[in-house]
Amino acid sequence: MKLLILGGTQFVGRHLTESALKAGHEVTLFNRGKTNPGLFKNVEYLRGDRDAGDLDALKGRRWDAVVDTCGYVPRVVRQSAQLLADAAPHYTFISTISVYADTTIYDMDESGPLATIEDATREDVTGETYGALKVLCEGAAEATMPGRVLTVRSGLIVGPHDRTDRFTYWPVRVAQGGDILAPGTPEMRVQFIDARDQAEWILAMAAGRRAGIYNVTGPAEPLTMGRFLEACQGMTKRDATFTWVNDEFLIENEVGPFSELPLWIPESYNGLQAMNLNRALSDGLTFRPLQDTIRDTLKWNALRTGAGDAIQPRAGMMRDREAELLAKWRARR
């Protein structure tokens, strides 16, 4: 398969490129050349800035499939899809489960209510506009290439090279051992997908020219925060104690959901971590063992930091803040 990836050198695109090359596909990358330039050998690099409308390098070419990893505003997605509509029979747009408007709904499938934005011309991507803009991006791609678009509504994507630390925080923190503040309850639902599993599924769907909208996260069976932390402890072999702190206390102390405490969303609106995956599962989405993702993430993190568990995380709670909250929690009980 001749594959064009818009992006291709950062986290999600990087794993797509690696998976495509491993599967024997011919890969072309289109990007600005600013992140990890020359990362891959045996691929074709095309340069341009799609945000500025600079798509000239794509003109007059043909591919079997396109994967758009980095479309955030509808104008940009529409321009790319319009140019490529006659250049490739299939277009994958990587969207997000943040497109859904109501996060209180559990087991929500692809028909759930979507986020809206009053001013559809806005292009400032913020926590407020992100989901609604992705909805418009989905619509722009489908309107341009009707019946030929695979829309991937991704959940939290994790694994090696994920610099957000929203997953990495937990294996690293458990590896440090000691008394760990665990958010909510052990029964809190969590969902995420290894970027490599998502990449392999996207490539298979693109090769089969499968179209439609899919919630793409994991695992196949419901996973709880308690089981996830146990898996982290099992992989790190460290002596750690988990102190479970309830939603009310965390909210009262202004702990930031999903940022200061990754994976934690108060139970009352944790629907985005309890999505219905039946459609993707029925179309071949599979998952590697959780232990493999934890192990590989820890290995990558050790290489990144050069000191194993010594890290200034981009997400997650600082140790002094954690100790302060744990002391306060015990004092009130």
Asked which of 154, 180, 203 is the last residue of a domain, the reply is 154
Percent of the chain having pLDDT more than 90?
Answer: 90
CA distance 124 to 138: 17
CA distance 193 to 212: 19
8, 13, 16, 17 alpha-carbon torsion, rounded to 10°: 20
Confidence at residue 172, expressed as pLDDT on a 0 to 100 scale:
94
Identify the CATH number of the domain in which residue 96 sits: 3.40.50.720
For tokens 């981009």, the residue is 314
Phi, psi of 5, rounded to the nearest 5 degrees = -115, 120
Confidence grade of residue 312 (pLDDT, cut at 50, 70, 90)? low
CA distance 80 to 63: 14
- Same domain membership, residue 144 and residue 59: yes
6-20 average pLDDT score: 95
- The count of domains in the chain is 2
Phi, psi of 63, rounded to the nearest 5 degrees = -140, 165
Percent of the chain having pLDDT more than 70?
Answer: 97
Pick the closest to residue 170 from 153, 152, 158, 161 (CA basis).
158
Q: Is the pLDDT at 110 greater than 80, yes or no?
A: yes
Read off the amino acid at residue 317: M
Confidence at residue 308, expressed as pLDDT on a 0 to 100 scale:
47
- Same domain membership, residue 113 and residue 61: yes
- The string of pLDDT tens digits covering residues 120-155 is 999 999 999 999 999 999 999 999 999 999 999 999
Confidence at residue 321, expressed as pLDDT on a 0 to 100 scale:
96
Read off the amino acid at residue 281: L
Confidence at residue 159, expressed as pLDDT on a 0 to 100 scale:
98
- Same domain membership, residue 250 and residue 303: yes
- The string of pLDDT tens digits covering residues 289-309 is 999 999 999 999 998 876 444
Asked if the structure places residue 252 within a domain, the reply is yes
Phi-psi region of 199 (alpha: psi -120 to 50; beta: other; left: phi over 0): alpha
Query: Helix, strand or coil for residue 139?
Result: helix
Confidence at residue 309, expressed as pLDDT on a 0 to 100 scale:
44
Answer with the residue of higher pLDDT: 41 or 23: 23
Answer with the residue of higher pLDDT: 322 or 313: 322
Confidence at residue 191, expressed as pLDDT on a 0 to 100 scale:
98
What angle in degrees, to the nearest 10, is found between the helix axes of 290-305 and 169-176? 80
Q: Are 141 and 68 spatial neighbours (Cβ–Cβ below 8 Å)?
A: yes
Domain residues for the domain of 55 are 2-154
